[in-house]
Structure 1
Amino acid sequence: MGFFRVQKSKLSGKVKISGAKNAALPILAASLLTNDVVIVENVPDLLDVQTMLCIIRESGKKVEFENGKIKISGEVTNGKISYELVRKMRASFNVLGPLAAVLGKARVALPGGCAIGVRPVDFHIEGLKKLGFEITIEHGEVYAEYRKKDKDVIISLPFPSVGATEHLMTTAAILEGTTIIENAAMEPEIEDLQSFLNKMGAKVSGAGTKKIFIEGVNLLNSVKHKVIPDRIEAGTYAIAIAASGGKGYIENIIPSHLDALWQVLTETGTILEFYENKVFVDGSREKKSAKINILPYPGFPTDLQPQIMVYLSVAKGTSMISENVFKNRFLHVDELVRMGADIYITNGTAIINGVEKLSGAKVEGTDLRASAALIIAGLIAEGTTEVYNDFHVLRGYELIVDKIRSLGGNIEHLG
């Protein structure tokens, strides 16, 4: 089992943000809809991306990946995706609809992914049923067979699920008639997926709002697309610089994608300067407490909740973080307490009493973002911190050791 060894460091300089993992994965799943060549650029080389590429290869397509550029060609010939691949990440489930739409039927295992609470695929399955698929679940697998879609379909999501929104809008793109997704998620990654689909010849509109319209087409064509920057990676490094008391530039980003984070950092004493595609972060001032509600976009993102908790753990006063997306996403709290943080959970809210300092310790990353948060904790803690379960971080942060070192951070990847 590999781990990261981290020592206290004040980060400064500049860091270039990679392409968005959470945009690349649904775009790659959507590539199954065409037999023509698909080229996707600015793709981060991550474990999750490699898993999705293995799934696409298993479907029968040819895949080439070099220097952030993916080329996908050939036809889909296999609609059964192995459990060994699907168990690794939740986003893999998003190939079920496209495979079944292309081949008429498909079989995909129930997905795995980060341990951040209950995340059923009910919204996906109910939506696929409305799109005309017959769904059977047995032996841990979901079997989808296309029957016939009604000409006009309205799917109202009980919660603005990002994965379900992406899955259903992708699948509906090549099904007859009109589909409307109500209470859709509004994340920038969904807008990027819409852009990709429309470049292929799809007719999708409304992404970025609560209502998405899809007019099905018979055929999608070749496409070349560049993935948007990763706002969660950008936010992670911004928090890391601010928490360490350093100063630095976060480059190659779309600043407006992180407005909720910028508001919290500003309110708590971090100085920010905004440019067209970068942000300057100055964390040299004393940090103040805050109250944060974790909400679907454009609210404060759940994927930055563990990181901002580390930042607030050494802020003056008492902070509160209410998690309204994944109620049980607090497994990192025990590890932060092990490092000297004063945090307790009550009714889905973390109460954080700021302490003067954290102390290095051996800790265990329980999911992708929690592991990144523990690395930040190691950068501000006295002594040495070892963050175990390295594979979580490698799923979602490209070249993290190189990037932290470029900012002056003391970090090693061992084991």
Structure 2
Amino acid sequence: MDALKIIGGATLRGEVRVSGSKNASLPIMAVRTLTQVLSHMGARIERQGRALLIDAESIPHPEARCDLVRTMRASILVLGPLLARFGHAKVSLPGGCAIGARPIDQHLKGLEKLGAKISLEHGNIHATASSGLIGAEVVFDMPTVTGTENLMLAAVLAQGTTVLRNAAQEPEVTDLAEALISMGAKIQGAGTREIIIEGQKLLRPCRHNIMADRIECGTLLVAGAMAGDPLMVKGGIAEHQRTLVDKLRAMGAKVEIDDDTMRVTRPHMFSPVDVQTAPYY
């Protein structure tokens, strides 16, 4: 898609429900491209309504192909768990078999800290840990969501204790930790700058509800503030929208929160506000 053409002037009213979080489901597993990646490896995946049943008991091909990985950078998230489970993995570099503007060096450095041997050959990452991964202290140069998630996924099956410092604190990281804990993983500190993981020999199947997509929810709240008369946004997590709601109210929008429903009404006149972005904390 090269452009979006938006024709304004209409009010928004009624009710809209927030979807499950794409960024939370990626490391846990529930989007189309990653489904293809896992299916190619040998996992059995079945959609049951709004649920996805994944049977990864047998993975005969621990390899993520370039033609699939190039369509979604987050496919790199299969590297950590494949390496921890099988002791080897082959994953194409994201972004069309080349390191692009969003490098994965923090992923690779972290896995090397856990004892992996990594080489880059013909656009592929070859990773081995023939004796298994060993828990270690990993300090990220900067907070990275997928880097934190990849190391968590690797460390839950590593031998001993892994400590991730300067970890990403986004709610999606916490959601992944909750899913892993329900599988039997031992994780402390998810959602803070330091995450401690006690490696386990085996994990068990689990049933996990994906958190609401906070980006989609925020987008709907902004739309309601611009044209809501009113707009009811249901299913979002109000705590994740706290800063945005404060700004929308400061601009003059009326935002009412009741359990999982946020009611947004546009103001007669907007007031200016200052906004400064920063890493999530």
Q: Do the two structures share a fold, i.e. TM-score over 0.5?
A: yes
Distance 1:110 1:244 in 2: 42
Letter in 2 for 1:71: L
In 2, the alpha carbon distance for the partners of 1:287 and 1:109 equals: 48
The question of whether the paired residues in 1 share the 8 Å contact of 2:114 and 2:134 is answered with no
The residue number in structure 2 matching 1:144 is: 127
Q: What TM-score do you get using the length of structure 1 for normalisation? A: 0.64
Q: Determine the structure 1 residue equivalent to 2:34.
A: 52
Matching residue within 161, 164, 167 for 1:181: 164
Give the structure 2 partner of residue 259 of structure 1.
Answer: 242
Name 2:253's counterpart in structure 1: 270
Of 13-22 and 141-150, deviating more is 141-150
**Secondary structure at 2:53 match in 1:** strand
Bigger relative contact order, structure 1 or 2, given CA contacts below 8 A and separation 6+? 1
Shift of 1:124: 0.4
Deviations 1:235-274 (A, max 9, x none): 1111112123542111011100111211221222211111
For these two proteins, the number of residue pairs brought into alignment is 276
Query: Are 2:21 and 1:20 aligned?
Result: yes
2-structure distance, mates of 1:174, 1:150: 8
| Counterparts of residues 373-412 of structure 1 (less than 5 Å) | none
- What SS does structure 2 have at the residue aligned with 1:226? coil
Structure 1 regions of 5+ residues with no counterpart? 29-42, 44-48, 299-415
Query: Structure 1 residues 219 and 149 mapped into 2: Cα distance closer, same or farther (>3 Å)?
Result: closer
Q: What is the 5 A alignment of 1:322-341? A: none
CA distance, structure 1, for counterparts of residue 135 and residue 103 of structure 2: 26
| Structure 2 counterpart SS, 1:262 | helix
Residue 232 of structure 1 aligns to a residue whose secondary structure is helix
Does residue 95 (structure 1) correspond to residue 78 (structure 2)? The answer is yes
Structure 2 letter corresponding to 1:207: A
Q: Helix, strand or coil: the match of 1:259?
A: helix
Distance 1:87 1:151 in 2: 30
Deviates more, 1:152-161 or 1:215-224: 152-161
Q: 2: CA distance between counterparts of 1:192 and 1:96?
A: 19
Aligned position for 1:293: 276
Cα 1:249–1:132 change in 2 (3 A) is same
In structure 2, the residue corresponding to 1:287 is in which secondary structure?
Answer: coil
Using the alignment, how far apart are the partners of 2:164 and 2:146 within structure 1?
13
SS in 2 for 1:194: helix
Secondary structure of the residue that 2:249 maps to in structure 1?
Answer: helix
Deviations 1:101-151 (A, max 9, x none): 2221111111129xxx92110100100101111010122211111145675
Residue matched to 1:409: none
Query: CA distance change for structure 1 residues 150 and 105 in 2, over 3 Å: closer, same or farther?
Result: closer
CA 1:288–1:252: 2 relative to 1, 3 Å: same
Percent of residue pairs identical: 38
Decide whether aligned partners of structure 1 residues 23 and 150 sit closer, same or farther in structure 2, where only a CA change above 3 A counts: closer
1:65 maps to amino acid:
R
Partner deviation per Cα, 1:127-184 (whole Å, 9 max, x = no partner): 0101111010122211111145675511111111001011101110011000000111
* Aligned residues of 2:227 and 2:265 also touching (Cα < 8 A): no
| Alignment counterpart, residue 177 of structure 2, candidates 194, 215, 218 | 194
AA in 2 matched with 1:25? L
> Could you say which residue in structure 2 is the equivalent of 1:71?
53
Correspondence 1:7 to 2:7: yes
**Separation in 2 of the partners of 1:133 and 1:295?**
32
Residues 66-119 of structure 1, C-alpha deviations (whole Å, 9 max, x = no match): 322110113111111111110111210010111122221111111129xxx921
Contact kept in structure 2, 1:247 and 1:284, CA below 8 Å: no
Q: CA separation in 2, counterparts of 1:285 and 1:131?
A: 57
SS across alignment from 1:102: helix
